[in-house]
Structure 1
Amino acid sequence: VTTMYLLQSVTNDFRKSLFGKILNLPLAFFHKVKTGELISRIVSDVQMMQNSVAVTIVDMIRDPLQVFVYYAFLLTIDFKMTLIITLVAPIIIVVMSVIGRYLRRYGTRMQEKMAELTSIIQEGISGIRVVKVFNAINFELEKFKKVADKYLHSLMKMYRVNRLSGPFNETVGAVIASSLLWYGGNKVLMGTGPSPAEFMQYVITLLLLMEPVKLFMDKVNRVQQGLAASKRVFTLLDHKPTVPLPQGDKKIDSLKKRILFDNVSFKYEGNDEFALRNFSLEIPKGEVVALVGHSGAGKSTVADLLARFYDPTEGNILVDDTNLKEISMNSWKNMLGMVTQEVILFNDTILANIAYCDSNPDLERVVNSARAANALDFIEQLPQKFETIIGDRGMKLSGGERQRIAIARAIYRNPQVLIFDEATSALDSLSEKLVQEAIDRLMAGRTVLVIAHRLSTIIHSHKIVMLDKGTKVAEGKHRVLLEQSPQYKELYEMQFAIGRK
C-alpha cells in the first residue's frame, strides 16, 4: 500500500507540474502545439511512465541482487569456468542495447500517434457543430481511423521487438547450458574439474541464475518504453521560451494618468515581417480608445501587447511613465480585464463562470454583475438559476446569453483597464440591444481599449485609431476621421452600405 501510494503521489505531482508548466508558457507556444498533444503528454505519457516504474521498481533491485549472489556462488565452485561463461555477457549487452534503442524509437512513435488521436478527438468534439453541418462525420472518422491504424502499427512493431528478447535469452541460455555440459562434463570425467556433486551444484545454480537474468532483461525493456514517454514529458517540463518575458518586480495598484505606446514595433516569432511598426498611442485614464481597420491591420497585436502576452520587439509601453516590463506580472494582470471576441466559458455553473478564479465568490456581487450585464432575467428563469451547469464552452446558452455572461464576468472582476474585443457574431435585435447596454455599463469609468468590428458601436469613443497593415494611418474622433481619413471614410461607408442593405 505504501509503495502504491508513493508511486501514485509521484505520478500526481508530475501531472500537476506539467499542467502548471503549460499554463505558464507564453501565448506563442500555443500557436505551434496542438491542444491534443498537450493533453496526451499529461495523461498518456505520464501513465506510461507510471506503468514502467510500477512493474520494475522492486524487481530492478531484487533481480540484480539474485544474479550477484548466484554469480558469486558459481565463482567459488569453479572460477575459470565461470569467467569463460562471463565472456558471453558483452554479446547479451550489445544485443539488448540494440533492442532497447528500437523500443525507445517505436515507443516515441506510438506516443506521438496517441497525441494525434487525442488531438483529432478534441477537435472533432469541440467542433461538433461544424462537423455535423458540413456532413463531415465520415471525413473525421476516416481521419481518426488512419491515425489509429498508424498507432496500432507502431504498437505492434514495439511488441515484436520486445518479444525478440525472450527467444534471444532462451537461445543464449541453451548455448551456455550445452557448452557447460560438454566442457564441464569432460573436466569432471578427466578429473581436472570439480567433483560430480559440485558440478551438479554448478549446473543447478547456473539454471537458477538464468531466471532473474531473463526477468531483469524484460524489466529493462519496460524501462526503455517508459524512457520514450519520459523524454516527451521532460522535454515539455524543460521547455524554455525562445523570447522569455522578463518578470518585473514593481507593484502598482492603480492607473494614475495614462498608458503610452511609445514607437512600438513587433513581429511574431519565426516571422520576418513586422505585424506592428512604429506605433505610438496615448490612452488617458478613464477614456475609451477604439482600434479599427481591416483584418490583419494589427488591432489584435496591440491588444496582446497591452495584455502582455508578448513584449514589443522595439519601443516601449509605459504605464504612468513606468515601463510595462518592469511592472510585476501579477500586479498588472490584477488591474486588467479582457472580453475576448470568441466568448470563452467553462463547463461549470453560471456562478463559477461569473466569479471565475474567485475561490470564495461574493453572491451579492455576482447578482449585481449579472444585473448590470442584462443577464439576471434569463438566469432567474433557469431551473437552477446561478447553479445551472452551462456545458462545454457554454453550449447550453444562446450566443447573446454567452456574451452577457462574459460581460458579467468582466464586471465582477472590476478591472481598471479593460481590453474589449468586440464580438463579430450577429445577434437578433433584442439580444444586440441588451448586449450593447451591458457593454456601455462595463466601459463606464474605465480605461478601455476596444477592438472594433462595427463602427456603429464606437462612434462616441474618445479616440478612434485607424490601422492599416500594422501602421497607424489616422487618429481622432469619428467626425474628424470622416473628414480627414480616406481609409476610415471608405470603411465607414462600406459598413453603412452593408447595414442599409
Structure 2
Amino acid sequence: MNQERQIKPLYMWWRIIKSTFMWWYLLIAAVVAMIGFAVSNLAMVYLLGPVLSALFNPESATLSAQLEKFSGSETIKAKIGTLLAPILYKQTPLETLKQFAILLVIIVLIKNLFQYIQNISAMQLMQNITNFFRKKLFEKILTMPLGFFHRMKAGALMSRVISDVQMMQEYISDTIADLIRDPLQVVVHYAFLLTIDSKMTLYITVIVPLIVIGMSIIGKHLRRYGARTQEKMAELASVLQEGITGIRVVKGFNAEKLEASKFKKFADKYLHNIMKMYRVRRLAGPFNEIIGAAIAACLLWFGGRKVILGVGPSPAEFMQYILTLFLMMQPIKAVADKVNRIQQGLGAASRVFWLLDLKWVSAPKKGSIRIKDIKDGIKFEHVWFKYDESENYALKDLTFEIPAGSMVALVGHSGAGKSTTADILSRFYIPQKGKVLVDGIDLAEIEDSSWRALLGIVSQEVILFNDTVSANISYGDPNPDTKRIYEAAKAANALEFIEKLPQGFNTIIGERGLMLSGGERQRIAIARAIYRNPKLLILDEATSALDTRSEMLVQQAIDNLISGRTVLVIAHRLSTVLKADKIIVLEKGEKICEGNHEELYETCEQYREIYDLQFGKK
C-alpha cells in the first residue's frame, strides 16, 4: 500500500502561490489596491498632526508658516513636509481647517474604493484557486486504478475533495491576500515612524524576534493538530457515508444504535482534536497582547519623557507616532493570526497534495497503440494475478481463448476468479505474470481509452446516476442520439416500463437508480451497453440477482445484444450460459475444464456438480 508521506510546508506554499499566477491579472489588481489602501490609511494618520496644530496652534496652520518651518532643512521629513504643505494648508487657519475636512472625506472615499477592489479581486482569485484544486483532485481520483479504491474509503475521498480543499481555502487561500496587505501596511507605517523618531523606532524593532519565535512554536503545534483534525473528519465522513448508503442493511439488522454509537465515537474524537487545536490557537492573541502592552508602556515612558523635556518630537507628532504604532500593531497581530491559521490549513493541504502527487505502485502502465476492432480474438496466456498485499494468487496460470464473434462463459463457485478475469480483461488490473493478447497485441500496449471504447460491461451491481433515463442510457456520449437511445431501450426490453414513467425518457431515476426495480435497472444497464454498440461485451453476473420474469426479459435483451459480437459471460446460473460456444470452468483461480455444455457435463465433474445442484440430476 502507498503510505501517506509528510510534505514539506515550503513545497505546499510554493504549489499554492504558483497557482495564483494563472490569474495574474487578479493578483496585480489586488496588490495595487492593497498598496492604495495602505497609503490612504496612513494619509488619515498623517492628517492628524496638522489638524491638532490647527486647533491648538492656529498660527502654524498656514501655508507660509509651514514653508518657513521646513526652509533650509534637507532631511526627508522636511522634504515631505515641503511637498505636502501646498496640498494641506491655505492662507488662513479657517481655510486650512476647511481643507482638512474636505481631504478627510476624499481620503476615506479613496481608502474604501481601494478596499472594495482589493476584496473583490482577492476573493475571485482565492475562489479560482479553490475551484482549481478541487477539480484537479477529482480528476486525479478518476484516473486511479481500482486497487486504490479498495484501499481508500469513499467517505475519506469525499472528505479530501470537499472538506480538505475547503479548509485550504479558509485557512490558506483566504489568508494569502491578507499576508500581502498586512505586511504592506506594516512597512508603510514603519517607514512613517522612522520619519518621526528613528531612534525610538529602532529600539521597538528589537522586540520583533520575540514575536516571531513565539508564533513559530505555536504554529508548529497547530500544523500537527490541523492534520489530525482532518484525519478525524475523514473518518467521520466515512462512517456517515457507510451508514447512509447502507441504510437498508442498518434497518434490516436493527443496527441503528450500533451505527449511532460508531458515529458518536468518531464525532467525539473529532471534537477532542478540534478543541486541542482551538486552545493552542487562542494562545496567540494573549501572547501578542502582552508584547504590545510592553511596547506601549516603554513608548509612553521614554517617548513621553522626551516630549515633556522638549528634546523629541512635538506633542502633535508624538500623537501621530502613538496612533501609527497602534495601527501598525493591528496588522502585525493579524499576520501572526494568519500564520497560525495557515499552519492549520497546511495539515489539510498536505492531504490534498499527497493525493495529487500519488503514483500508485501497481497502476497499469499507459499503452500507446490504438485499435478500432477485434478481428481475430483475445487470448489469456499463462496469466497470474494477486491483489495488493495478498499472499495468494486469485488467478493461477490461466490460459484460454475468446475467438472474435464467439460467446465464451466462465463458471465456477464464488471466489473462483471469474470477476477477476473480467476485471483484467477490462484492464482494471494488470497481471503480475503472463499477458492478455488482443489480435496478437499485448493488452498492456494498447491505449486505455482506445480499448475501453470497444467494451460494453453489464454487471450484477448496476451503477446508475441521478439523472434522466436518456442520460443513463447514453452515458459517456457528449452528443446523445435520441433515435439510438429509443432503439437501445427497445432492444433491452426496457421500453415498456420507461414509457410508463412520469416523464418517460426524461424521468430522473434517483441516486443509483433507486426509483427503479432491480430488473428495470438491469435492463437500463443493458440498454446502455447496446447504445454503446461494443465490439466486446462482458456480462458479469448479469442475471443472478433477478426474479424469473425479469431474468427472462433480461435474457431476451442479452440475446438481442450478443449478435455479431465477442462476448464473455460470467454467471452462477447456468441457464444464462448454455448457449455459449465455449464454457470454461474455474476453481480457486485455475482453469480445470473447457468445452461446450454437452462435453463438460460428460467429462467435467465440477461442472456436472454445479449443473445438478441448479437443475437436479439429469
Q: Same fold (TM over 0.5)?
A: yes
Partner in structure 2 of residue 113 of structure 1 = 232
Q: Retained in 2: the 8 A contact 1:52–1:226?
A: yes
Mean Cα deviation higher: 311-320 or 60-69: 60-69
Mean Cα deviation higher: 424-433 or 71-80: 71-80
Shift of 1:151: 2.1
1:82, 1:3 → 2: CA distance? 32
Partner in structure 2 of residue 57 of structure 1 = 176
2:203, 2:514 → 1: CA distance? 73
1:188, 1:398 → 2: CA distance? 88
The superposition leaves residues 8-45 of structure 1 with CA deviations (integer Å, 9 ceiling, x where unpaired) of: 22222222211111111111110011111111111112
Shift of 1:83: 4.4
In structure 2, do the counterparts of structure 1 residues 348 and 255 end up closer, same or farther at CA, with 3 Å as the change threshold?
same
2:304, 2:190 → 1: CA distance? 20
Shift of 1:168: 0.4
Q: Retained in 1: the 8 A contact 2:126–2:174?
A: no
Partner in structure 1 of residue 14 of structure 2 = none
Give TM-score scaled by structure 1 length: 0.92
Q: How does 1:1-400 map to 2 (within 5 A)?
A: 1-53=120-172, 55-75=174-194, 82-181=201-300, 194=312, 203-400=322-519
In structure 2, do the counterparts of structure 1 residues 432 and 58 end up closer, same or farther at CA, with 3 Å as the change threshold?
closer
Partner in structure 2 of residue 480 of structure 1 = 599
Partner in structure 1 of residue 44 of structure 2 = none
In structure 2, do the counterparts of structure 1 residues 424 and 132 end up closer, same or farther at CA, with 3 Å as the change threshold?
farther
Q: Retained in 2: the 8 A contact 1:257–1:285?
A: yes
Secondary structure of 2:141's counterpart equals helix
Mean Cα deviation higher: 448-457 or 140-149: 140-149
1:160, 1:313 → 2: CA distance? 51
2:325, 2:527 → 1: CA distance? 76
Shift of 1:240: 1.0
Secondary structure of 2:601's counterpart equals helix
Q: What amino acid does structure 1 have at the position aligned with 2:347?
A: A
1:251, 1:444 → 2: CA distance? 25
The superposition leaves residues 287-339 of structure 1 with CA deviations (integer Å, 9 ceiling, x where unpaired) of: 11111112111111111111001112111111101111111211111111111
2:394, 2:452 → 1: CA distance? 24
Q: Retained in 2: the 8 A contact 1:353–1:405?
A: yes
Shift of 1:408: 0.9
Task: Select the structure of larger CA radius of gyration.
Answer: 2
Q: Retained in 2: the 8 A contact 1:416–1:446?
A: yes
Mean Cα deviation higher: 301-310 or 1-10: 1-10
1:84, 1:158 → 2: CA distance? 34
The one of 511, 524, 528 equivalent to 1:409 is: 528
Q: What amino acid does structure 2 have at the position aligned with 1:154?
A: N
Secondary structure of 1:263's counterpart equals strand
Shift of 1:226: 2.2
Q: Retained in 1: the 8 A contact 2:460–2:545?
A: no
Q: Retained in 2: the 8 A contact 1:254–1:335?
A: yes
Shift of 1:246: 1.8
The superposition leaves residues 59-98 of structure 1 with CA deviations (integer Å, 9 ceiling, x where unpaired) of: 2122212222333444556656544443333332222112
Higher percent of residues as helix: 2
Q: Retained in 2: the 8 A contact 1:77–1:194?
A: no
1:242, 1:157 → 2: CA distance? 36
Q: What amino acid does structure 2 have at the position aligned with 1:248?
A: G
The superposition leaves residues 395-435 of structure 1 with CA deviations (integer Å, 9 ceiling, x where unpaired) of: 11111111111111111111010111024654332222111
1:245, 1:97 → 2: CA distance? 43
Q: What amino acid does structure 2 have at the position aligned with 1:280?
A: T
The one of 577, 580, 584 equivalent to 1:458 is: 577
Shift of 1:165: 0.3
Identity across the alignment (%): 61
Q: What amino acid does structure 2 have at the position aligned with 1:439?
A: I
2:391, 2:306 → 1: CA distance? 79
Secondary structure of 2:225's counterpart equals helix
Alignment gaps of 5+ in structure 2 = 1-119
1:116, 1:425 → 2: CA distance? 34
Secondary structure of 1:58's counterpart equals helix
Q: Retained in 2: the 8 A contact 1:348–1:389?
A: yes
The superposition leaves residues 436-478 of structure 1 with CA deviations (integer Å, 9 ceiling, x where unpaired) of: 1112222222111111211222122111111111111111112
Secondary structure of 1:280's counterpart equals strand
Secondary structure of 2:477's counterpart equals coil
The one of 553, 557, 560 equivalent to 1:441 is: 560
Mean Cα deviation higher: 487-496 or 341-350: 487-496
Q: What amino acid does structure 1 have at the position aligned with 2:259?
A: E
Give TM-score scaled by structure 2 length: 0.76
Shift of 1:203: 4.9
Mean Cα deviation higher: 174-183 or 209-218: 174-183
Secondary structure of 2:379's counterpart equals strand
Partner in structure 1 of residue 92 of structure 2 = none
1:203, 1:8 → 2: CA distance? 38
Q: Retained in 1: the 8 A contact 2:544–2:573?
A: no
Partner in structure 1 of residue 70 of structure 2 = none
Q: What amino acid does structure 1 have at the position aligned with 2:391?
A: D
CA RMSD, aligned part only? Answer: 2.4
